[in-house]
Amino acid sequence: MLVIVAPGQGAQTPGFLTPWLEDPDFAARIEWLSTVAGVDLVHYGTAADADAIRATEIAQPLLVATGLVAALQLFPHPADAFAQIGAVAGHSVGELTAAAGARAISAEQAMVLVRERGNAMARAAAATPTGMTAVLGGDRDEVLAAIERHGLTAANDNGPGQVVAAGTLAQLEAFAADPPSRARLMPLSVAGAFHTVHMEPAVGHLARLARSVSVHDPRTAIISNRDGRIVHDGTEVLRRIVGQIASPVRWDLCLETMADLGVTGILEMPPAGTLTGIAKRALKGVETFALKTPDQLDDARAFCEKHGESNPIETSPTWRMVVSPAKGTFRLSQEAADLTILPSGTAIGDIASLRDTISVTAAHGGQVVEWLVEDGDLVSPGQPLLRLHPEGVL
């Protein structure tokens, strides 16, 4: 099982785009996305210093554009990607890269959204002096308790020993004076408290714009930052990306879902290294590949071929799949069992896991073609549950 991941803000380094721009196709595509975003990505990816590319409104479009264009370098024929990739995920703004790569939204839509996202988050950050501090090591429960005690938010939970606290600068100073035991604090050079309530004004702005964005069901499973669930409804993908601006990134739960999927290989899009580093510590035995420069492309393709397998939920022009969002036991809804045509939004059942119970709905509705599971079956994340012919297609 192959999972492709896209990094978030902070992964960028001065000049990282330089070797990629030697390819004229890559350069032309970056220039196009620069035009869409209204940001000179070539300049910022080659000549700008660390302070310039640290700015939220610069870093975010730079990361998304790089990931999308590098994906076309890795898979010149996109159909090859969907025959190999089992799931995609993106850390924070990387979710936009993942959504566009999975064809839930277009590359141009992703660039408009990331432009507005970056600008809105920068404005929100300027309203109140806020920041973020990485907490490395320590007992997880003690770390989370200390963060809560100081009124902070665990804005990023990246797995064992890696939590990021966020809040006002005064709260962070108090936290530094009273840290959790056996933990090391590392203040992050960011503009504000991302993924907290301080970013709610940016959520409202992006939500208004998102009403005009046309979406499609992704061509492969998307693992959501919010709770690690598999999302296979385009509208829900976009809704989660918008809300996630002011909600914690639960990368730890994304890693759990990758393990449940049976991941054997994780490839990180450029600028790579952060997420593969986390995966090496959290998912023992899983191979990783950090794609940093274009001279690695042949090896990256070989890595994808080694770990890739047929995608069970690729969309079709004549029918839709309802898939499981998580691992657990499927409980069939009696209402759905008795119907041959399901109205849009019908609850088809629940997935019960050790963590919680998740309701599963048929987002599009339509005529039941076949049930692919039975009541009481154990299911895995992304497993097809039901095949439907959308209304109006038959």
Residues 234 and 324 in one domain: no
Question: Using an 8 Å Cβ cutoff, are 286 and 273 in contact?
Answer: no
Mean pLDDT of the region 195-202: 96
Instruction: Tell me the C-alpha distance between 26 and 29, whole Å.
Output: 5
Residue recorded with tokens 């192959």: 2
Does 313 map to a domain? no
Residues 86 and 208 in one domain: yes
User: Considering 195, 205, 232, 364, which one is annotated as catalytic?
Assistant: 195
Residues 268 and 182 in one domain: no
Does the pLDDT value for residue 392 go beyond 90? no
Instruction: Tell me the C-alpha distance between 372 and 318, whole Å.
Output: 17
142-193: pLDDT as tens digits: 999 999 999 999 999 998 889 999 999 999 999 999 999 999 999 988 889 9
Residue type, 99: A
18-69: pLDDT as tens digits: 999 999 999 999 999 999 999 999 999 999 999 999 999 999 999 999 999 9
Question: Using an 8 Å Cβ cutoff, are 103 and 222 in contact?
Answer: no
Does 314 map to a domain? no
Residues 98 and 181 in one domain: no
What pLDDT shows up at residue 309?
84
Residues 100 and 141 in one domain: no
> How close are the terminal C-alpha atoms of the chain, in Å?
34
Does the pLDDT value for residue 316 go beyond 60? no
Residues 28 and 56 in one domain: yes
Q: Which of 254, 275, 307 is the last residue of a domain?
A: 307
User: Considering 34, 92, 224, 324, which one is annotated as catalytic?
Assistant: 92
Q: What is the number of structural domains in the chain?
A: 3
Question: Using an 8 Å Cβ cutoff, are 87 and 258 in contact?
Answer: yes
Residues ≥6 apart with Cβ < 8 Å to 284: none
Does residue 195 have an active-site annotation?
yes
Residues 119 and 212 in one domain: yes
What pLDDT shows up at residue 393?
41
Which of 201, 52, 193 is CA-nearest to residue 116? 201
Residues 297 and 364 in one domain: no
Residues 49 and 151 in one domain: no
Mean pLDDT of the region 65-77: 95
Residues 118 and 36 in one domain: yes
291-300: pLDDT as tens digits: 999 999 999 9
Which tokens hold the place of 106?
């277009």
What pLDDT shows up at residue 394?
38
Domain extent for 174: 127-187
Which of 349, 350, 351 is CA-nearest to residue 334? 349
Does 88 map to a domain? yes
Question: Using an 8 Å Cβ cutoff, are 226 and 247 in contact?
Answer: yes
Does 161 map to a domain? yes
Rg over alpha carbons for the chain, rounded to the nearest Å, is 21
Mean pLDDT of the region 82-103: 95
Q: Which of 307, 340, 363 is the last residue of a domain?
A: 307
Instruction: Tell me the C-alpha distance between 233 and 252, whole Å.
Output: 22
Residues ≥6 apart with Cβ < 8 Å to 113: 96, 105, 206, 209, 210, 213, 241
Q: Report the DSSP pairing between strands 265-268 and 2-6.
A: parallel
Residues 373 and 341 in one domain: yes
Residues 45 and 164 in one domain: no
Question: Using an 8 Å Cβ cutoff, are 193 and 130 in contact?
Answer: yes
Instruction: Tell me the C-alpha distance between 216 and 208, whole Å.
Output: 19
* H or E segment and range at residue 9: none
